[in-house]
């Protein structure tokens, strides 16, 4: 019986090793096919670490070594999958189950029979420690390096320099509320009022003209998200302007929510219907009150000033960017940012941006970003590849960039860094 117990423990560890290794190969191959080297290298390192621990558990009859694989596999499964949109990284769930079962059942079997481990798998554990330490050192080293940078603002995929977002500016801009009338365009067309926040740069002068950025939040948040919920974004704006790294600009942060519309049936329709609110109401209210390059708040005025206007958003706000601004209002906007979201296929892009009304309009810049562990990344890669293949006005590295941030997931750290980079590129 003891032999059978030991053999069962070995079988569990070996089965976990096979499933973890096979899943790792599939996971890395999936990202390799997406064409994102940052994510591919990161996942290769992670899957190698998983395999080394699983091998050590099997070689040394130490099933508890599978427990870290189960824990970190669960974390990665949670951050890289989203039931509503993607299960691209389902492999992490498989690895979590295999490692967890082997760790718990195998350890119980050894404890019941009071068996000791077979040997200490020194080579596997040494390789694990070296690879883990080297990877963490690279990540922390580059992050610390970029965080400590001084002087000019510059592109980064690691961290926003502390000088821009952690030091209160002596010349702060102001954030004011804008109340405007609009309609429930996605449902019954009823009249209602909504609120947006407006960032006005230090020394705002009604006699001048300012570029304007419309900046959208994501699911579950509101118009406060960019400037009040996460005030380091405002601090960054203040410092970038005060240091002369970007020109003073106006930033408007609206919300795509319309009271309780679509909350029970899915919010996707709002990413399309916001186009009407944007064009008919929000832009009219904002640019009739604040000094932009629009000489008039009508179709002619907005079209003539489109190169002084940008739209960007995060998550479902990025989807709104594509649906309502890029595909829906290319005649009013020339600069775009889509952070951790797309959900727009090539056919939709072709139908709208290459329509008779939009086909001849220049696209000044498109900035797409995601994190290595962001569940939105796989769909973004597919959608942007489709867009680039059909749209000659977009040239990678010239007026289109796609940044994948190391060690980032679907969170504000990702989007704060994206905003920092975008601000340096628009206008």
All residues at 6 or more sequence positions from 274 whose CB lies less than 8 Å from its CB, including other chains: 185, 256, 320, 323, 324
What pLDDT score does 37 carry?
A: 95
For residue 10, what pLDDT is reported? 82
Alpha carbon of residue 281 to chain centroid = 28
- Asked if 332 and 340 count as a contact pair (C-beta separation under 8 A), the reply is no
Q: What is the pLDDT along the chain (427 residues), one digit of tens a residue?
A: 455 555 777 888 999 999 999 999 999 999 999 999 999 999 999 999 999 999 999 999 899 999 999 999 999 999 999 977 667 999 999 999 999 999 999 988 888 866 666 788 999 999 999 999 999 999 999 999 999 999 999 999 999 999 999 999 999 999 999 999 999 999 999 999 999 999 999 999 999 999 999 999 999 999 999 999 999 999 999 999 999 999 999 999 999 999 999 998 899 999 999 999 999 999 999 999 999 999 999 999 999 999 999 999 999 999 999 999 999 999 999 999 999 999 999 999 999 999 999 999 999 999 999 999 999 999 999 999 999 999 999 999 999 999 999 999 999 999 999 999 999 999 9
CATH of domain 162-423: 3.40.50.1820
User: Does residue 114 sit in helix, strand or coil?
Assistant: coil
Per-residue pLDDT, 4: 55
pLDDT at residue 8 in the model: 77
Both tokens assigned to 416: 């704060």
What pLDDT does residue 1 have?
A: 45
Angle value at C-alpha 343, between 339 and 349, nearest 5 degrees: 100
So where are the chain's domains?
Answer: 2-145, 162-423
Half-sphere exposure (CA, 13 Å, Cβ side) for 210?
A: 27
- Burial class of residue 163 in the structure, from the number of CB atoms within 10 Å of its CB (0-12 exposed, 13-18 middle, 19+ buried): middle
Residues 76 and 65: their CA atoms lie apart, in Å, by 18
Q: Backbone phi, then psi, for 279, in 5-degree steps?
A: -75, -40
Residue 3 has a pLDDT of 53
Residue 425: predicted pLDDT: 97
Rounded distance, CA 14 to CA 20, Å? Answer: 10
Contact between 344 and 320 under an 8 Å Cβ cutoff? The reply is: no
The two three-digit tokens of residue 223, written as one number: 């118009």
Would you mind telling me the total number of residues written for the chain in this entry?
427
What is the per-residue DSSP string for 327-387? Answer: TT-TTT--EEEEES-----HHHHHHHHTSTTTTTS---EEEEEEETT-TTHHHHHHHHHHH
């Amino acid at each position: 019986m003891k032999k059978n117990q030991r053999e069962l423990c070995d079988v569990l560890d070996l089965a976990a090793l096979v499933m973890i290794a096979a899943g790792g190969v599939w996971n890395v191959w999936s990202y390799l096919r997406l064409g994102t080297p940052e994510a591919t290298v990161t996942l290769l390192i992670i899957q190698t670490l998983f395999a080394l621990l699983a091998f050590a558990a099997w070689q040394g009859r130490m099933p508890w070594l599978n427990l870290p694989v189960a824990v970190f596999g669960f974390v990665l499964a949670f951050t890289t999958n989203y039931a509503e949109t993607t299960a691209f990284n389902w492999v992490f769930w498989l690895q979590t189950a295999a490692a967890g079962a082997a760790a718990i059942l195998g350890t119980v079997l050894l404890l019941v029979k009071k068996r000791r481990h077979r040997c200490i798998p020194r080579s596997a554990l040494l390789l694990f420690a070296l690879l883990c330490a080297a990877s963490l050192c690279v990540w922390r080293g580059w992050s610390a390096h970029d965080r400590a940078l001084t002087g000019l603002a510059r592109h980064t995929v690691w961290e926003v320099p502390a000088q821009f977002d952690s030091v209160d500016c002596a010349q702060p801009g102001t954030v004011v509320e804008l109340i405007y009338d609009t309609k429930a365009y996605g449902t019954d067309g009823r009249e209602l009022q909504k609120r947006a926040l407006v960032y006005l740069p230090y020394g705002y002068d009604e006699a001048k003209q300012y570029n304007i950025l419309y900046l959208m939040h994501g699911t579950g948040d509101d118009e406060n998200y960019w400037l009040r919920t996460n005030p380091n974004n405002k601090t960054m704006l203040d410092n970038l302007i005060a240091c002369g790294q970007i020109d003073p600009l106006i930033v408007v942060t609206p919300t795509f929510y319309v009271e309780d519309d679509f909350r029970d049936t899915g919010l996707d329709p709002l990413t399309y219907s916001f186009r009407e609110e944007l064009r008919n109401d929000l832009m009219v209210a904002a640019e009739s009150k604040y000094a932009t390059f629009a000489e008039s708040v009508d179709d002619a005025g907005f079209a003539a000033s489109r190169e002084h206007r940008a739209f960007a958003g995060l998550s479902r706000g990025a989807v709104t960017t594509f649906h309502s601004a890029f595909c829906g209002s290319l005649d009013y906007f020339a600069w775009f940012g889509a952070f951790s979201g797309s959900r727009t296929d090539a056919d939709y892009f072709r139908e709208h941006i290459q329509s008779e009304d939009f086909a001849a309009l220049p696209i000044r810049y498109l900035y797409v970003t995601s994190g290595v562990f962001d569940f939105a990344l796989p769909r973004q890669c597919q959608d942007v590849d489709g867009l680039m293949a059909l749209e000659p006005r977009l040239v990678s590295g010239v007026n289109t960039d796609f940044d994948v941030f190391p060690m980032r997931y679907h969170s504000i750290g990702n989007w704060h860094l994206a905003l920092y980079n975008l601000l340096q590129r628009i206008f």
